[in-house]
Amino acid sequence: MAMTAKIDVKGEDLLTSLEELVQAVLQLEDISAVLVPQQLPMKNMVMPMLVSDPAQLNGVDPLAPVFPMNGAKLVSRLSRKTIGGKIAVFMRPCEIRAFIELVKLKQGRTEELIILGLDCLGAYRNTDFMRFVGEDISRSSLEFYQNAIAGNTSGGKDIDLAPACKACEYPVPAGADITIALLGVNTEDHLLLLSASEKGDELISRLDLPPAQPEKARQEAIEALVSQRKVYRDNMFEETGAAVDSLEKLTSYLAACVNCYNCRVACPVCYCKECVFVTDVFNHEPIQYLQWAQRKGAIKMPTDTVFYHITRLAHMSTACVGCGQCSNACPNDISVMELFRTVARQTQQAFEYEAGRDIDEKPPLSEFREDEFSEVVGIGA
């Protein structure tokens, strides 16, 4: 039976309560380390930290509206082989969904992990976050949280949530062993821990937390947020689809691409150890460039930019979870996420698949289904 427990929030200090929870988890005998977002002492930034010493848990900040990288890649590195100890990992919903895809692709394992997820209110672009916090990061996360829970995600100075977050219909961390519930909860008084697995039940029991009941307002708060985000998402799909519905439009959409490949590096489900685009395959001979230019009169440099994105779309649109790290990493502000989510939605719908939905659901094209695309292959005709 799924367990629900309560954590008291003292003095309305939500971050301190979360840090005390992380410390309590790390002090359990069989937990070797925790992976948790933490404020950096040397810079006003929040980054994932792998902590084994409870004394080093200073500035735990999973509420920070910043998303410097998708932690699924880090959890993949920590879990793809036996590590010899349990690690508790704190992840956003899109990080959990990306990690589920990596597990299916044999790039990660869950046996030595306990996954804790928080309801996600979204994040700013990295550069916007730096403007938002200014010189003092200490109160910025609580300021954002209090405003966002009231429906105001603006950070001032023309700062708002990243488009990926505005379009994300998964604010609740499905796939976590334990959900730290924020939506619909009176977080000035307490937090709720909702177990979703035997690992979660065991952890709550060992933390010796008082039992609680799920709050009725929670489902209403979730539905209201999801409804708002779906409106933005559907408008995004429509606008992006119209912007790339021909090769000419797609070429224009991607015109500022410089083949830096940052989007590939930032993508949590781009897992190939060697990418064809960083091999000699696209290291063309000098004469080829001249011949192309002479044949067409002019060519855009660097070449192969559109082909690069089409190849990536064909490779991983079935696994895209829409986390937005591709756009976050683009130096020229190309709306990469909007393009990839729009195509991924169509690809995943065609296969009746949803990336990150279920760890036991087989990825498309990995198993034979006799009734799949019968109108194309002619089976049963």
pLDDT digit string, tens, across residues 70-88: 999 999 999 999 988 999 9
Among residues of the chain, what percentage have pLDDT more than 90?
69
Residues 227 and 294 in one domain: no
For 141-145, the CB contacts below 8 A with 24+ separation are: 141/15, 141/46, 141/61, 141/63, 141/64, 141/65, 142/14, 142/15, 142/63, 144/63, 144/64, 144/65, 145/14, 145/63, 145/121, 145/182
Examine residue 237 and state whether it is found in any structural domain, yes or no.
Answer: no
* 251 and 227 both lie in a single domain: no
Residue 138 has pLDDT above 90, yes or no: no
Does residue 355 sit within a domain?
Answer: yes
Report pLDDT for 380.
Answer: 56
Considering the domain architecture, whether residues 134 and 267 belong to the same structural domain is answered as: no
User: pLDDT (tens digit, 9 = 90+) per residue, 34-71?
Assistant: 999 999 887 888 999 999 999 999 999 999 999 899 99
Residue 1 is predicted with a pLDDT of 52
Q: How far is the C-alpha of 345 from the C-alpha of 319, rounded, in Å?
A: 10
Q: Which of 231, 266, 291 is the last residue of a domain?
A: 231
Task: Find the domain containing 268 and state its range.
Answer: 247-377
Residues 215 and 252 in one domain: no
Mean pLDDT, range 266-295, rounded to an integer: 86
**Lowest-confidence pick of 79-83, 86-90, 163-167, 342-346:** 79-83
Give me the residues paired with residue 78 across strands.
none
Q: What is the arithmetic mean of pLDDT over 309-320?
A: 92
Check whether 275 has a pLDDT greater than 90. no
Euclidean distance between CA atoms 76 and 99, whole angstroms = 7
- Per-residue confidence at 125, pLDDT binned at 50, 70, 90? very high
pLDDT of residue 374: 64
3-state secondary structure of 39: strand
Predicted structure pTM score: 0.91
Q: How far is CA 201 from CA 187, 204, 226, 253, in A?
A: 22, 5, 27, 48
Q: How far apart are CA 145 and CA 54, in angstroms?
A: 25
Residue 168 pLDDT > 90, yes or no? yes
| 82 & 35 share domain | yes
In total, how many domains does the chain have? 2
